[in-house]
Amino acid sequence: MSRTRPPAARTSARPSLPYRLRRALLACCAGLALVLGALAASPVPAQAAGSRPCDIYAAAGTPCVAAHSTVRALYSGYGGSLYQVTRASDGATRDIGVLTTGGYADAAAQDAFCAATSCAITKIYDQSPRHNDLTVEGAGTQGLADHGAPASALPVTVGGHRAYGVLVTPGTGYRHTDAAGVAVNGQAESMYMVASGTHVNGGCCFDYGNAEHTVDDTGNGHMDAVYIGDRCHDAPCTGSGPWVAADLENGLYQGSGNNPANLGNSSPFVTALLKNDGQTTFALKGGNSQSGALSTWWHGALPSGGYTPMQQEGSIVLGTGGDNSNRAVGSFFEGVMTSGFATDAADNAVQADIVAAGYTGDPAGNQGTTITGPGSKCVDVAGDDVGVDHAAVQLWDCQSYAVDQHWVHNPDNSLETLGRCLDIAGNGTADGTKVQLWDCNGVGGQVWVQQSDGSLLNPQSGRCLDSPSGATANGTRLQIWDCNGANAQKFHLN
C-alpha cells in the first residue's frame, strides 16, 4: 500500500548461494509397513524429513517460489546460508547458515563476527531454487533508500537455539525486483510470514509479498502482500488490532470491504497468511505461532475497483509498501511465497510445523533495561526506533513498547540499543559534548559506569551523562558535563 502515511505509533515530533535439497532414500525391508504404521501413530518430530513449510506446500502441489528466514531452514533438506551480515567497522560481510541441514541458524557465527562492533542484515537468502534473495531496498516514490536491520537487535529462541529475527523500524526494508516464478497478471499465489503482534504501529506498511516492478504505486491490484499492523483501512474494525490484512495496493483489506469479523492477532508471535486466486477470491488467516490452529478471517470475494483480476508485477517486498512507504514497524522471522492457491490442509500442516519450532523470547526486541533520568523520563533515541549512526539520544516519556528505550549493559560497560551503542560524539571529552548512537567499537566514549550517587560516569572524559540545566522536556538532548551530583545527572538503570 502507499499514499499518505499516518503518524507513527508514538505521537511525537521525533525526529546467491546454491540450493541443495537432500531427501534421504529409504531402503525397502520386510518391516517397512510396521515402521510406517508406527510413525503414523506418533507425533511428527520437529526435524522430521519433509515436514518443513516448503516440503508441505510442494507435496500439496503449490511449491514455494520464495522462502526467507533468518532463524531456520524452511526445507528439511536445506543446508545453505540464511542471511548475510555486514560489519560496521570494516564493511566485511559474513553469510550465516544453519547448524545442521534442515535446522536452525548458527547465531554463534554472527556473534563472533560482529564482536566489538555492530552488524546489519544486508541480505536474506531465498532458500527456494528460484534464488529470489532480498537485499536492502532503494529509494521509492514514498521513501528514501532504506537501511538494513541491526543484526543483533531481535534475539529469540527457536527450537531451543538462539537466533536473530529482522527488526523492522521506520526506514528498514528489503526487496527483490522481478522475482523468478512469483505470480504476475492474475496468477494464483499464497504466502505467510511469522511476525509479531506486539511490535506494530499504524504506519504504512509492514508487508511481505508481491510488489511492483518499479518502486512506485502503479495502481489497484498491482500488489498482493500479507500485512500485520494496527492500521484500520475500512472502518469499523474490531478492537484495536493488530490485524492480518491483504495489501492489494491502495488498500489494506480485511475482506472485500470492512470486516468486523476479523478479531485481530495480538499474540507475541503471529502466523499471518494470505491466499489469492488472482481472479475473484482471496483468503486471510491468522494464528498464534506458539500454539493452536489458524483462524480464517476471510475467504471470499476480492474487492471491487481494479482488483478483479489482479495485476501483480512479481517483485518481493519485506517491511515496506510497494512504493517504499517505510514508516511501519514489525518483527519478521520467516516467510514463504508459493505458486498457486494452497489447500487448507497444507496451511494447517504448516501452522503445526511453526508451532513445533518452538518460538520463544521477546519478538519486539525489548531486551535490556530502561534508564530513567530527570523528570522520570527515559533515555531514548530520536527517530522512533530508527537507530542509525548519529541518531540523537534524548529524554522522552517512558513507553513500554519502545525498543529504543531498552538498553543492554554489556560486559565492557557499553550501553546498547538497536544494535548500536551510547556514544560521545567524536569520542569527545569536553563539557557540553552531545551523546548519540554509534556503531559499538570499544572506544572510551562508549564506556559508562554507574556511580553510587546515581550518575553514569564516562571514565575517559571524567564527566557524567547530563541533561542540560536539568531540563525534563521530551526531546531534551543529552550531553556530558562535570560530575556534580545534581538531579540533572541522576540516571538509573532499572
- Write out the catalytic residue numbers: 249, 323
Q: Give the three-class secondary structure for 489.
A: helix
User: What span, in angstroms and rounded, lies between the C-alpha atoms of 382 and 12?
Assistant: 10
Question: Strand 408-409 relative to strand 415-417: parallel, antiparallel, unpaired?
Answer: antiparallel
Provide Rg for the chain, Cα atoms.
23
Task: Copy the grid coordinates of residue 347.
Answer: 496451511
Q: What is the DSSP letter of 369?
A: B
Contacts of residue 161, defined as CB under 8 A and 6 or more positions apart, other chains included, come to 99, 103, 104, 105, 107
Query: CB-based contacts of 485: which residues, under 8 Å, 6+ apart?
Result: 453, 455
Are 287 and 265 in contact by the 8 Å Cβ rule? The answer is yes
Helix-strand-coil percent breakdown of the chain, rounded to 5? 10, 30, 55
Under a CB-based contact definition with an 8 Å cutoff, are residues 295 and 287 in contact?
A: yes
CA–centroid distance for 414 within its chain: 25
Question: Measuring CA to CA, which residue among 206, 228, 197, 198 is closest to residue 402?
Answer: 198
* Grid cell for residue 423: 556514544
Cell numbers 500454539 correspond to: 291
DSSP string, 47-109: T-TT-SHHHHHHHTT--EEEEEESSB-SSTT--SEEEEEEETTT--EEEEEBSSTT-BB-HHH
Asked if omega into 15 is within 30° of 0 (cis), the reply is no
Please name which of 248, 303, 251 lies closest in space to residue 281, comparing C-alpha atoms.
Answer: 303
Please provide the DSSP assignment of 300-366 as one string: EEPPSSS-SS-----EEEESS-TT------EEE-EEEEEES---HHHHHHHHHHHHHH--BS-TT--
Q: Please state, in angstroms and as integers, the Cα–Cα distance from residue 94 to each residue in 60, 109, 110, following that order.
A: 35, 9, 8
Distance CA 57, CA 346 (A): 6
Given CA atoms 62, 65, 71, 75 in this order, what sign does their dihedral have? positive
Grid cell at residue 373: 533520568
